[in-house]
Amino acid sequence: MAGGIFDSHCHYDDPAFDEDRFELLDRLLTGDAHPIDRMLHAATDEKSARFGIETAKRYENYYTSVGFHPENADEVPDNYMDILQELYREACEIHKLGAVGEIGLDYHYEGYNKEKQIKMFKDQVRFAVCKSLPVIVHCRDATEDCMKILNEFRPEGVMHCFSGSAETAEEVVKLGMYIGFTGALAFKNNKKSRRSCEAVPLDRLLLETDCPYMAPPPYRGERSDSSMIAETAKVMAEVKGVSVEEIIRITNENACRLFGINRDEEAIFLSSM
């Protein structure tokens, strides 16, 4: 399966790609047989955001976000909002900024700084709303606090790598947000994610890898990359009762709409490749 895929959440700055990063991206994004139409880099800190900005300069069909991940709360400097503003300016200069993210709450590991995470999340959501940008939300073991903040600010955006209940998925959609599913949707016996996917309207679904993590079967346990989204799309198509081609087309359109990508300009670029 080739073409049409938008990987709406990837981390090619991860050390897992140190040996072949740009060879892989060249193969995925350029050339006559490139399998991926578009990618969006999910930034996790300042260094990660700058990687996204520089890589977006390198590839026409690669976009970026800017933001601070909750797991990095203890290392984030006090002037993080000044840094975010500067990253925003730099990304806007190249017209490749799709979102503020990856931001959110993560209470999974012991010793997390709840107060700092909540402050960072609120500050960055407020910034996104002010700049009319969507947010990419990370939420792990923090659903109640996360939903409270989203209900308070009501940003546009996506709940990425969704692992919550169908009921929570419906709440997120009622806020006008999207739901992103990774290769975990295709894990054997992952009935919870499939029920959640079933509850989400087609026009609110996104495909993502969260690579190098969450590789779907038959690649589970391997380093994930964007080409593996085809396997996730097969499961999503089965859940939604439509063709794989329809899932890829709709999720591509959804991501372009959410991240403000002009499809007419993109079509001109892609037809010239």
Question: Phi and psi at residue 210, in whole multiples of 5°?
Answer: 60, 30
Neighbours of 230 (CB within 10 A): 18
Asked whether residue 95 is marked as a ligand-binding residue, the answer is no
- Rounded alpha-carbon distances, angstroms, from residue 218 to 97, 99, 190: 33, 31, 15
Q: Please enumerate in sequence order all residues whose Cβ is within 8 A of that of 208, keeping only pairs 6 or more positions apart, or say none.
A: 7, 8, 9, 10, 160, 161, 180, 181, 182, 229
Residue 38: CA count within 13 A, CB half-sphere = 29
Asked whether residue 245 is marked as a ligand-binding residue, the answer is no
Residue ranges in the chain assigned as alpha helix (H):
21-29, 46-58, 80-93, 114-130, 143-153, 166-174, 191-199, 229-240, 244-258, 263-271
Please name the residue that has the structure tokens 């012991």: 110
CA distance 244 to 234: 5
Asked whether residue 9 is marked as a ligand-binding residue, the answer is yes
CA distance 11 to 47: 12
Asked whether residue 160 is marked as a ligand-binding residue, the answer is yes
| Residues tagged in the binding site annotation | 9, 11, 102, 138, 160, 210
| Residues tagged in the binding site annotation for a divalent metal cation | 9, 11, 102, 138, 160, 210
